[in-house]
Structure 1
Amino acid sequence: MGLLGILIALGLLIWLAYRGWSVLLLAPAAAVVAAALAGEPLLAHWTQTFMGSAARFIMQFFPIFLLGALFGKLMEDSGSVSAIASFMTARFGPQRSILAVVLAGALVTYGGVSLFVAFFVLAPMAHELFRAAQIPKRLMPAAIALGTSTFTMSALPGTPAIQNAIPMPFFGTTPFAAPGLGILASTIILGFGLWWLSRAEAKAHRNGEGYGTQGAAVSDAANDPIVRERATTSGAFDPAEIFHGDQSKDAPPIGVAILPLAVVFGVNLLMSLFVLPRLDASWLAQEAWGSTSLAAVGGVWAVATALAAAIVVLIAVNYRRLPTLRASMDAGVNASALPVLSVASLVGFGSVIAALPAFELVRSWVLGIEGGPLVSLAVATNVLASLTGSASGGLTIALDALGEAYMQIAAQQGIDPALMHRVAVIGAGTLDSLPHNGAVVTLLAVCGSTHRESYLDIVVVSIVGALIALAAVIVLGSTLGSF
């Protein structure tokens, strides 16, 4: 009955979340259902297991949610994201519209801008480019997804995306874990995605297919409550805050626009590889500091410091372009609240499921998957990310339940934890892009498209390409080790 209860609770969570119900209510309710069907104490699982795990997630990662959302909002309101998009448009022109959209998205998201902020800025730019080049509008969501939601989220070393930060406390790694494998995976994902989109564009031109109709306004997506509910479980920015605050009427020069992104990368690199490793942080083992270690918190410290430094630089060089600085900052920090609570609720649900006696069957099955620990880790993160519709939620649930076991296996078999880190993150960023994923729903709404028109291309560039890259990383990592 316990295993059946887990399946029933998961089914309720997925079905009702897809229909727009808030995960803040669904996650504890589904956890209570699973506990009840297993004959476990309900209130204890809610207040101790569920809330304890959710609180730990917020304690570990809220700084990144907060600073990431604030940075993204200030980049948008200062006109920096628009300036980068316009630069790419002018640089590549309508004849290379898809490449311009992909690279613009990759640049801003790798620099620390939330993919949801990027969606709302890139969509108008993509509409203009695709209309001028008579490229079907239905290819827009896949082009934007390729640049914002694939390799810059999970594969490129140093990315400040929350997904890349989640494995760090579990494996004691940095944002630059397995850099060579990450760059290889990024090359595969980008190359495969661009090949597919260029093929689709050429086929559309041969068939005489043009741009089509404009569709719904971008602002409609930000005000859609169902889009908001789904988006906040899969990202770190609340779309409802996207149009709060005043945007600059004058875009900064491209050098000024890119400077904060360079600061994010540079400070992250310095903190991860040079500053933190030289610190004597043995005092963290004291009970007053949570009896932790620098390996467990250093990765989050590096990303948080990088984002904080970039925010200071961004405000300093764009102060005159932020007419209502306080309103923009309020909108940015408010945009972090619902996403972190939503993902934490999913994590709390997962902790209750992992605490049930029947979960031992699931644990044994996952750890016993043939192909070795890298394959089983990839399967675990894929499955949980697909079920929750959230790469960050699924990844945390998987590592909360199995992270310690994988670390033991890594120690026994001589597997570098950095390799585990990169496999886990790329794995979480594949099947999370199923139809109910919040980023997919938001992107389609922003582009004025539908699942029927555009989802196949999203599947190819976001799922198929990532699975190929994941397989390559596992094969090379198993034979050559981490690099």
Structure 2
Amino acid sequence: MIGIIGLLVAIGILAFLAYKGVGALPLTIAAGLVVIVSNGMNLWESFSEFYMNGYIGFFKSYFLIFASSALYAKLMEDTGSAISIGYKFIDWFGKGRAMLVVLLATSALTYGGISLFVVVFAVSPIIMVLFKEADIPRRLAMGPLLAGSAAYTMTVLPGSPQLTNVVPTTYLGTTLTAAPVFSIIVGLLMFVVEYAYLKWEEKRLRAAGEHFTYIEGTDHTMYQIDRSQLPSATKSFIPLIVVVAMIVGLRKVMPSAASIVLAMTVASAIAMIFNWDRIKDKKELLNKGLGGAIGAIAGPCAVVAFGGLVQNSPAFQNVVAWINGFNMNPYITGVTATAIISGITGSSSGGVRITMETFAQQFIASGANMDYMHRLTSIAAGSLDTLPHSSGLFLMFSWLGLNHKQGYRFVFVTTVLVPFIFTIVCTAAVIALGL
């Protein structure tokens, strides 16, 4: 019990310190100490093995993705390509639909295979243009960015290539399109609710007198250039199209990480060739673009490291055993276990993976419909996974020049509250209908 209380206190510390603006490394070390002491773990082993294995493991798995993506984002922004794309979206849809454009663009990229850790690099320069022209507070960008990448496209829509939808297939024998009709209906309903909330927030913030602001310390002049001086929209769209096309097209040819790095590298090369004369200092651009990956990946690494330490604590094992001890409806067991474990680890894919490793055979033996089990656990994984200590949040907040205090409200509603409500309603509906 002391260990479990310590685990909850540690997560509370993470949330509190994040709101106070403390960096990921010191706050995860502080929270990690609470877990270690309350669980009677060896101090040196916990940090040198469990914590560092998580840190190094994430760095090793994602650094090349972060580096290639950061370079792509820098090139698209500095060459004016992203700005040109943003203005073209305004021409097509108008300033009043800036929120909808960002939500749909993020959704399309995520559904196309670009991960949450990458989509922020591709979309953030476009967000700056759209939100500036529509005079929407920059902190609200966390809403459509997270709703489009970490809600319905990640967990609900059939065929999603995101890990949260992929993991159940390896344990339950299902496919990526499990329960397709049910998934489409739920996905559309979730999209409508998310968009309605974001428009309400936009009106509320505007009525409160909030306006768009640039990221502190960045060069604002690139967004104040005459449109006639920008590269053509057609030329600007090509690198973005290449990214999506290569990631989707190479999905079955090579590992997803390799396809993302290759796609981002090729797109960056195209953007540089198309805008060769526009880049005044190519060496500086490359240095800043690739160097930006170091700062971007540091926060997520630290949070994943904390998650690795937590997963090796006795309290975490006790929580899993506690859930397993309940004799509940298999669907309720599935969503409860997935939501709680995703919340503790701060990871939807990690939560659903641990749940499946622990309960998959029990689910199959229960006689429940595995397609609906797949879909319900995926939805549940996308509920509590984005509590304040979620690793992806530290990347997105940092990249957009924000902190938890400024933007977590929008994250909580779009990726915790709404998915959590849908989890309860969908589970109740499946059980009531005898599916």
TM-score, L = length of structure 1: 0.66
Q: Does 1:327 align with 2:284?
A: yes
What do residues 162-201 of structure 1 show as CA deviations (whole Å, max 9, x unaligned)? xx3588689769xx94485876655333233334456778
- Fraction of identical pairs, as percent: 25
Aligned-pair CA distance for 1:83: 1.9
- State the alpha-carbon separation in 1 of the partners of residues 333 and 133 from structure 2: 44
CA RMSD of aligned residues (A): 4.8
Task: Quote the residue 1:260 is aligned against.
Answer: 239
Task: Quote the residue 1:365 is aligned against.
Answer: 322
Shift in CA distance, 361/24, structure 1 to aligned 2, threshold 3 Å: same
Q: Does 1:39 align with 2:40?
A: yes
Aligned-pair CA distance for 1:272: 1.9
Asked whether the equivalents of residues 14 and 387 of structure 1 are also in contact (C-alpha less than 8 Å), the reply is: no
Instruction: Point out the more displaced range, 306-315 or 146-155.
Output: 146-155
Amino acid at match of 1:347: V
Partner SS, residue 84 of structure 2: helix
Partner SS, residue 267 of structure 2: helix
Structural mapping, 1:416-427, within 5 Å: 426-427=379-380
Aligned-pair CA distance for 1:271: 2.1
Task: Quote the residue 2:358 is aligned against.
Answer: 405
Instruction: Point out the more displaced range, 304-313 or 38-47.
Output: 304-313
Shift in CA distance, 425/214, structure 1 to aligned 2, threshold 3 Å: same
Structural mapping, 1:256-295, within 5 Å: 256-273=235-252, 275-276=253-254
Asked whether the equivalents of residues 168 and 299 of structure 1 are also in contact (C-alpha less than 8 Å), the reply is: no
Q: Does 1:343 align with 2:306?
A: no
Structural mapping, 1:110-259, within 5 Å: 112=114, 114-115=119-120, 118-119=123-124, 121-129=126-134, 142=143, 146-147=147-148, 150-151=151-152, 164-165=162-163, 177-178=176-177, 180=180, 186-196=187-197, 213-215=209-211, 217-220=213-216, 250-259=229-238
- State the alpha-carbon separation in 2 of the partners of residues 368 and 319 from structure 1: 63
Asked whether the equivalents of residues 58 and 344 of structure 1 are also in contact (C-alpha less than 8 Å), the reply is: yes
Asked whether the equivalents of residues 165 and 300 of structure 1 are also in contact (C-alpha less than 8 Å), the reply is: no
Shift in CA distance, 149/5, structure 1 to aligned 2, threshold 3 Å: closer
What do residues 414-450 of structure 1 show as CA deviations (whole Å, max 9, x unaligned)? 9999988876665454445557855886799769x96
Task: Quote the residue 2:53 is aligned against.
Answer: 52
Aligned-pair CA distance for 1:17: 2.9
What do residues 362-420 of structure 1 show as CA deviations (whole Å, max 9, x unaligned)? 012344567666655554554456567xxxx4336536755533565577679999988
Instruction: Point out the more displaced range, 13-22 or 85-94.
Output: 13-22
Aligned-pair CA distance for 1:361: 1.9
Instruction: Point out the more displaced range, 116-125 or 347-356.
Output: 116-125
- State the alpha-carbon separation in 2 of the partners of residues 214 and 333 from structure 1: 33
Asked whether the equivalents of residues 341 and 355 of structure 2 are also in contact (C-alpha less than 8 Å), the reply is: no
Partner SS, residue 310 of structure 2: helix
Partner SS, residue 218 of structure 1: coil
Structural mapping, 1:307-322, within 5 Å: 307-322=264-279
Asked whether the equivalents of residues 169 and 299 of structure 1 are also in contact (C-alpha less than 8 Å), the reply is: no
Shift in CA distance, 47/167, structure 1 to aligned 2, threshold 3 Å: farther
Shift in CA distance, 126/338, structure 1 to aligned 2, threshold 3 Å: closer
- State the alpha-carbon separation in 2 of the partners of residues 360 and 443 from structure 1: 34
Give structure 2 stretches of 5+ with no counterpart.
none
Task: Quote the residue 1:81 is aligned against.
Answer: 82
Amino acid at match of 1:189: M
Aligned-pair CA distance for 1:218: 1.7
Q: Does 1:304 align with 2:305?
A: no
- State the alpha-carbon separation in 1 of the partners of residues 79 and 373 from structure 2: 38
What do residues 210-252 of structure 1 show as CA deviations (whole Å, max 9, x unaligned)? 65635473223xx5xxxxxxxxxxxxxxxxxx65998896433
Instruction: Point out the more displaced range, 32-41 or 428-437.
Output: 428-437
What do residues 350-371 of structure 1 show as CA deviations (whole Å, max 9, x unaligned)? 2222223333220123445676
Task: Quote the residue 1:395 is aligned against.
Answer: 348
Asked whether the equivalents of residues 167 and 424 of structure 1 are also in contact (C-alpha less than 8 Å), the reply is: no
- State the alpha-carbon separation in 2 of the partners of residues 399 and 365 from structure 1: 17
Shift in CA distance, 153/352, structure 1 to aligned 2, threshold 3 Å: same
Task: Quote the residue 2:28 is aligned against.
Answer: 27
Shift in CA distance, 35/246, structure 1 to aligned 2, threshold 3 Å: same
Amino acid at match of 1:5: G
- State the alpha-carbon separation in 2 of the partners of residues 352 and 140 from structure 1: 32
- State the alpha-carbon separation in 2 of the partners of residues 64 and 417 from structure 1: 33
Aligned-pair CA distance for 1:89: 1.0
Aligned-pair CA distance for 1:4: 3.1
What do residues 292-320 of structure 1 show as CA deviations (whole Å, max 9, x unaligned)? xxxxxx33333333333333333333333
Shift in CA distance, 130/365, structure 1 to aligned 2, threshold 3 Å: same
